[in-house]
Structure 1
């Protein structure tokens, strides 16, 4: 029952966050890049750092935050990770690192997950990112660009993203 209530409040959080989104800086060029990653889709985070080199972005200007539906029982050194237990029953994020990540004004934030995921959708909606990229099947209200490609196809994703960022004058 609490899970159903939590998901209802998550949806309400998304609606509230979308009302306050500032779209005035949407066309800025790419200098800071953020990724919100579902660990069920991509386990090798280093691939995204390598991709940022192709975009000519320094590693210090790339931040990656991952989501895991259920927390592992084993201790982990991963700091930039959130799970469903880090959300209160009212849909608020109870993770200081995640809150700091969402306050960074990324030039581009990529929601690296397919379909709808209420937890990641709330994070995308709370993010202060100027331009947001997602995958087909995601909530269209959250993103400025939805790509019709399978997130598991990393090479295809890279080519498509570079193509669109070039067309939008975010990269040269």
Structure 2
């Protein structure tokens, strides 16, 4: 029952954030790149940092935040990680690192997950990123650009994102 309330609240929270979004800075060139990643689906984070380097960014200008359903018992030094337990029943995030990530004005934010994902979608909606890229059946209201790419094939993902960033004159 509490899970249903939480998911309903996440949807309402997402809807509200969508109406409040400022799109006036959408066309700024790429200086800061952010990734929101579902760890169940993808865990080669070094590849994402290398991709930022290929786009002409330094490692410090590429930020990564991941979602995992539940934390493992093994201690981890990873601070840029959030679980479903850190969302309260009203859909609010109780993770200081996540809040800082979402408040950072990325020039491009890439939602690196497949389909509809309540928790990551809520984070994308809350993000202050200027331009948002999503993939494969994601909620089109959240993103400025949706690409149909097999995310398990990194080269295809990289070439598609590069192509559109060039077309949009972000790089």
**TM-score per shorter chain, which class?**
over 0.9
Structure 1 gaps of 5+ residues are none
Q: Distance in 2 between matches of 1:112 and 1:43?
A: 11
Q: Distance in 2 between matches of 1:143 and 1:149?
A: 15
2:73 maps to 1:77:
no
Number of equivalences: 171
In the TM superposition, residue 69 of structure 1 has moved relative to its aligned partner by 1.1
In the TM superposition, residue 56 of structure 1 has moved relative to its aligned partner by 0.4
The residue aligned with 1:52 is 52
The residue aligned with 2:141 is 141
Q: Deviations over 1:115-164 (max 9, x none)?
A: 00000000000000000000020000000000011211111000000000
Q: Distance in 2 between matches of 1:65 and 1:39?
A: 10
Q: Contact 1:34/1:109 (CA < 8 Å) preserved in 2? A: yes
2:122 maps to 1:122:
yes
Structure 2 gaps of 5+ residues are none
In the TM superposition, residue 74 of structure 1 has moved relative to its aligned partner by 1.7
Q: Distance in 1 between matches of 2:161 and 2:26?
A: 16
Q: Distance in 1 between matches of 2:54 and 2:11?
A: 36
Q: Contact 1:136/1:147 (CA < 8 Å) preserved in 2? A: yes
Q: TM-score, normalised by structure 2?
A: 0.99
Q: TM-score, normalised by structure 1?
A: 0.98
Q: Distance in 1 between matches of 2:38 and 2:60?
A: 21
Q: Deviations over 1:15-35 (max 9, x none)?
A: 000010000000000000000
Q: How does 1:22-171 map to 2 (within 5 A)?
A: 22-171=22-171
Q: Distance in 2 between matches of 1:153 and 1:23?
A: 31
Three-state SS of the structure 2 residue aligned to 1:156 is helix
The residue aligned with 1:16 is 16
Q: Distance in 2 between matches of 1:52 and 1:143?
A: 20
